[in-house]
A and B are shown apart, each in its own frame.
Chain A
Amino acid sequence: MTATTTVPAAPAPSDPLRQPKAAGGGTTRRRGPGRVAASIILWGYAIVALLPLLIMVMSSLRTNMQLATDPLGLPTSPTFAAYRRAWTQGQFGAYFLNSLLVTIGAVALSTAVSTAAAYALARSNSRIMRVLEALFLSGLMLPIHLAVLPIFYLFDGVGLIDSRIGLILLYGAGGVPFSVFVLGAFFRQVPGELEEAAAIDGAGPWRVFTTIMIPLVRPALATVAVFRFVPIWNDFLFPLVLLRSDSKYTLPVGLSTFFGEHANDYSTIFAGLVITTLPLIALFAIATKQIVAGLTAGMSK
């Protein structure tokens, strides 16, 4: 249910020209017991957030027998056999590439069309455009997974079953409401003078858009891209129903089949879980700076 609407970020427009100083200018002068307590709480919660995932990683490095006798033990003699099994038997390599292709394709598509649409919506006063905008935004509330049957029939009718392109189009469309919502707010914040100046110099709307506007909303683009990336990467239902061949499966679908085959092979399953999860963590670690910048720009006034 999460593909289209679960990404909460409601950046109110801000002035992207003036990157707000990260709020961190904050106070560092408070010392003493309060601060220590805060540190304990924060790092304590970090452990809560990460421990289950650490157990997942540790379990993937142990054998099934070890897991059955001592579920909590440390991987004293770590073995990567589970990874070898998962990788060779689970075709994770292919699933991984499919996920990457579909996700990047869909994010690129929805970001591209939404940026153009959001710009026009921000710059037009027409009543038609207001209705269109509302239509896009109502998409934030559409439980699109409930339309899985009509989507299947639609795809079946136009020959998009078992097609990664089909998935890209679907996810691309699913990303429009959120992307228009976030980007529209940013465009509204950009003062019109720049465009007017460019227009006087003879630049057409398309040129203004590509050379002036897009660079200005780059932090928002990063935020939108990353927040769309996660639910698409993790979606399970649509690839399950719309894909047919093993060779086109994305990671979550491959993983679910893998569960079926290895129900009692815990360490191999844990290895599969790790393989599925790592790429996103890597992406997020790299992109946090961008996301935080985009959000901060969005949330501040």
Chain B
Amino acid sequence: MRMRLGTAALFVLPALVLFGVFILYPMVTAFSYAFFDWQGTSRGAFVGFKQFEALFTKPPFTTDLPRALLHNIVFFLATIVLQNSIGLGIASLLHSRASTRRALQTLFAVPYLVSPLVVGYLWSLLLSPAFGPVNTLLRKVGLESWALPWLGDPTTALPVVILISVWQWIGFPVLLYGAALGGIPEEFSEAARVDGARPSQIFRRIKLPLLLPAIGTVSVLTFIFAMEAFALPYAVGGSTGNPGGATDFLSLLFYRTAFDSGATDAIGTSSALATLLFVVIFGGALTATWVLRRQERRLLG
């Protein structure tokens, strides 16, 4: 049933006003800040793209920006691989058990409910070489050489942050893939089985293509999530991305630039960074969607 434009407008208006005033307007303002000169919190002259130029020509951005971007990308790729494989694996295993499925789904989702602040703090304590239970446990079972300063070594810190993140968010793909698997009619697999297909074939040839939309959704959302990553790295490694910038991310760089650098034009450069981040997220998400749609069309015909 169609709705008249006037009526529709009335229905949309409250959401539009709310969204426009409290999200769109500040966000657009934030972008606009990037085009001005700043002295602390007072705005100076319009300077065009000067602040953006600074991001690519001036230290510390010349070193920190590529590093942070690299970490975001590594974070995204590792998360997508781990979350999709573990999530899909668990969801498939869960699919075949009706009785315990809901209980397990809930258990797997519990870490998601914990505030990133709490998660970061908790894992810092758990992984501490001095009193942390993780290293205590490793020593007890004779893995002395594995008792590393996990969050204190640049080579292990980023992987650990990724694992903590996967640990926290795994409930999501499990729920989503579970739901998607539930939507695949049992007759499909049944028919294939009658035709003599092995379970692995059924999974690869029948279920996987049908799951592709769900995988795509998870992937695009993971991309946005990974590019915006802030709360967890902040709680684990502080605003500088300890140790030695090994867990630095774009959002942390933004935060540092805006609030910790002490630079007088901090608002301008940090806004330029925010704008850049938005462009990356927006562009990336659109591209990813486009690629995935093509894939789907190819597979599903």
| Chain A residues in the interface with B (C-beta under 8 A) | 1-2, 4-6, 8-10, 12, 14, 20, 22-28, 30, 35, 38, 41-43, 45-46, 48-50, 52-53, 55-56, 67-68, 71-72, 109-110, 112-114, 116-117, 119-121, 123-126, 128-129, 132, 135-136, 138-147, 149-151, 153-154, 169-170, 172-174, 176-177, 180, 192, 195-196, 199, 205, 209, 230, 233-234, 236, 251-252, 255-256, 259, 266, 269, 273, 276-277, 280-281, 284-285, 288-289, 291-292, 295-296, 298-301
Let me know if A146 and B254 touch, CB within 8 A: yes
Q: For the complex, is B115 an interface residue (Cβ under 8 Å from A)?
A: yes
Alpha-carbon separation in the docked complex, A20 to B231 (Å): 36
Residue of A nearest to B275 (CB): A146
Q: Total contacts A to B, CB within 8 angstroms?
A: 312
Q: For the complex, is B241 an interface residue (Cβ under 8 Å from A)?
A: no
Let me know if A20 and B183 touch, CB within 8 A: yes
**Which of B24, B117, B175, B181 is the one whose CB lies under 8 Å from A256?**
B117
Using known A-B contacts A68-B131, A289-B102, A299-B183, determine if residue A173 contacts B12 with beta carbons closer than 8 Å: no
Alpha-carbon separation in the docked complex, A232 to B247 (Å): 25
Residue of B nearest to A43 (CB): B104
Q: Which residues of B contact A6 (CB under 8 A)?
A: 221, 224-225, 228
Contact-size category for B: 35 or more
Which of B25, B132, B180 counts the most chain A CB atoms within 10 A? Answer: B180
Q: Which residues of A contact B214 (CB under 8 A)?
A: 10, 299
**Which of B16, B21, B25 is the one whose CB lies under 8 Å from A132?**
B16
Q: Which residues of A contact B29 (CB under 8 A)?
A: 147, 150, 153-154
Alpha-carbon separation in the docked complex, A114 to B16 (Å): 9
Residue of A nearest to B1 (CB): A192
Q: Which of B95-120 contact A (CB under 8 A)?
A: 95-98, 100-102, 104-118
Q: How far is the CB of B82 from chain A (nearest CB, A)?
A: 13
Alpha-carbon separation in the docked complex, A123 to B173 (Å): 31
Using known A-B contacts A8-B222, A125-B2, determine if residue A146 contacts B277 with beta carbons closer than 8 Å: yes
Using known A-B contacts A284-B106, A299-B182, determine if residue A2 contacts B33 with beta carbons closer than 8 Å: no
